[in-house]
Amino acid sequence: MNYKQAMETLIWNFRLDYDPVGIRYVFDESEKSSLKVTHTSKAKLSYCMYLAAARSARHALFMDPERLLCKNAQPVFGFRGLEKGTDGKNHEKYLIDPELSWQAPQEKQRLEEGACKGIFMAPLENYDAAGVDPSVVFLMVTPFQAYHILNDYMAAMNRPNLTFFATPNSAVCSGSVYTYNKNTANMTTMCAGSKASGKTEMNYMNLFIPGGQIIATVEQLVKRIEVKGGPSLLGAGGQPWPGLDVCSGCPMIKFEKVES
């Protein structure tokens, strides 16, 4: 299975509203010129804005460190060091207490300072021709879709449960870096920035899968469809998406097939 097939399988079977996006953290300056970029931003943007363009408009984008607008995301990607007067103060809106507000940015998942030279973001299918693999795959999904994808992820990774990493803000930037650093799936709600800038509407979740694990996850979905007959996990499972959504086992809800 290639990335295009994986993307189409996810979109079709889970009726995704947005393209899965591959995120690649670039640590080698020489790699930047080889990446197949389709669009550039005219102004500085937030990380969430770049991802919104990739998932909604199918743009392939490269974000240089100096093109990142969001001050909360800058230290997450190691584009600058933490500053108590700036970063601690920024978190007082969320946590009120000054010491707790300074502790929060220090305990977010971050890339090593100065190591990342920029970030490439494009629809997952673009990586077949890119000659590189995504570090993380980002999906904006409903909770119902996330539930199904995470079940296939757990089965593919032979894991019976998962733990997620929530922070006061930086839901998308630190949320994706957590997946990269820990090599595990992560899911976050919106944060203030991703709601306003990244268009994380109120019925969506931010879902992150390690780039090296996305193909196995989708292959598990395909296997489950072959075994059960369809992607739905409702009831007995195996129904066409989303399956018959009624009270499980209710004796009043019975149907019989009409013979022609």
Domains: count for the chain: 1
pLDDT beyond 90 at 79:
yes
pLDDT single digits (tens) 6-55:
999 999 999 999 999 999 999 999 999 999 999 999 999 999 999 999 99
Considering the chain, what percentage of its residues have pLDDT values greater than 70?
98
Q: How many CB atoms are located within 10 Å of the residue 257 CB? A: 5
**Tokens 């395909």, residue?**
222
> Does residue 233 form part of some domain?
no
Cα R_g (the chain), whole angstroms: 20
> Does residue 238 form part of some domain?
no
Helix axes 214-228, 143-157, angle to 10 degrees: 100
The pLDDT of 174-193, averaged and rounded, is 97
CA-to-CA distance for 38 and 59, rounded, in angstroms?
6
pLDDT beyond 80 at 159:
yes
> Does residue 254 form part of some domain?
no
Q: How confident is the model at residue 70 (pLDDT cuts 50, 70, 90)?
A: very high
Nearest Cα residue to 233 out of 164, 154, 157? 154
What is the residue type of 171?
A: A
Average pLDDT score, the chain = 95
Least confident segment among 22-36, 48-62, 100-114, 241-255: 241-255
CA-to-CA distance for 66 and 75, rounded, in angstroms?
12
pTM, 2 dp: 0.93
Three-state SS at 241 = coil
pLDDT beyond 70 at 249:
no
What is the residue type of 164?
A: F
Q: How confident is the model at residue 260 (pLDDT cuts 50, 70, 90)?
A: confident
> Does residue 220 form part of some domain?
yes
> Does residue 257 form part of some domain?
no
> Does residue 127 form part of some domain?
yes
Nearest Cα residue to 162 out of 174, 152, 172, 173? 152
Do residues 141 and 14 make contact, with C-beta atoms less than 8 angstroms apart? yes
Do residues 186 and 164 make contact, with C-beta atoms less than 8 angstroms apart? yes
> Does residue 255 form part of some domain?
no
> Does residue 244 form part of some domain?
no
* Residues spanned by the domain of 117: 3-228
List C-alpha distances in Å: 80 to 74, 77, 90.
Answer: 6, 8, 15
pLDDT for the residue 242: 81
> For the chain, where are the E strands, in sequence order?
21-26, 61-63, 118-123, 136-141, 186-188, 205-210
Q: How confident is the model at residue 243 (pLDDT cuts 50, 70, 90)?
A: confident
pLDDT beyond 70 at 248:
no
DSSP single-letter state for residue 132: S
